[in-house]
Structure 1
Amino acid sequence: MGAYLYLALAIAAEVTGTVSLKLSEGFSRLVPSVLVVVGYGVAFFGLSQVLKAGLPIGVAYAVWAAAGVALVALVGVLFFKEPINLAMVCGLVLVIGGVVLIEMGSKT
């Protein structure tokens, strides 16, 4: 499995864990609580494999964190009807733009 496939797995697992954290209602619901633990475990395993494959830690973590932030925000808006406004959208664009700059900088 390539570094970027492990990174995609890590991102999906982290988003699953974070969304499950909301659904767990303070760890009072069993299935979402188990998904939190499994999700974060798989996320950290995937991230460890990304680093083992040689992707720079700064790039790997930046992509993982930014994608997680953006996807969790999207899930919040679409499924939990959380509010979003222009300032929040601009913040997400800046986070993603920052990751692009980190990735570009790592290539020089």
Structure 2
Amino acid sequence: MTWLVLVAAIVIEVGATLGLRASDGFRKKAWIAPVVLGYLTSFYLLWLTLSLGVPVGVAYGIWTACGVALVAVVARYLFGDPLTRKMVIGIAFIVAGVLTIELASAVH
């Protein structure tokens, strides 16, 4: 259940971030409530993940790495944002770093 809560936090945060992009700097007022509620819900679920015992470095690392990767890929298709080979390599380095942290924390 702990990991499902973290996955939900990630998915909701990605949705809120994409909503922020879609809001066009909040010029499209209809996006304000979904963005704010999305971020609040995501932070609550991240807090819940931490309270269920996941170390903060692991939870936050996974949350941010997955968020960066998902936002970059989905924004490419929704908004036509750039996703260059160098960006993909950078995302791979982020994911590798988070996996390293996860594996190192599992040893203890």
TM-score for both structures, normalised by structure 1: 0.95
Amino acid at match of 2:21: K
> Structure 1 CA distance, aligned partners of 2:76 and 2:36?
24
In the alignment, structure 1 segments of 5+ residues that lack a partner are: none
Task: Tell me the residue number matched to 1:18.
Answer: 17
Distance 2:71 2:9 in 1: 14
Q: Say if 2:15 and 2:38, in contact at 8 Å, map to a contact too.
A: yes
Cα deviation for residue 28 of structure 1 reads 2.2
Matches for 1:62-73 after TM superposition, within 5 Å: 62-73=61-72
Moved over 3 A (4+): none
- 1:1-108 correspondence runs (5 A): 2-108=1-107
TM-score, normalised by the number of residues in structure 2? 0.95
Q: When the two structures are aligned, how many residues end up with a matched partner?
A: 107
1:5, distance to aligned residue in structure 2 (A): 1.0
Instruction: Indicate the RMSD between aligned Cα atoms, in angstroms.
Output: 0.9
Q: Percent same amino acid at aligned positions?
A: 40
Q: CA deviation at 1:86?
A: 1.4
Alpha-carbon contact 2:73-2:83 (below 8 Å) kept: no
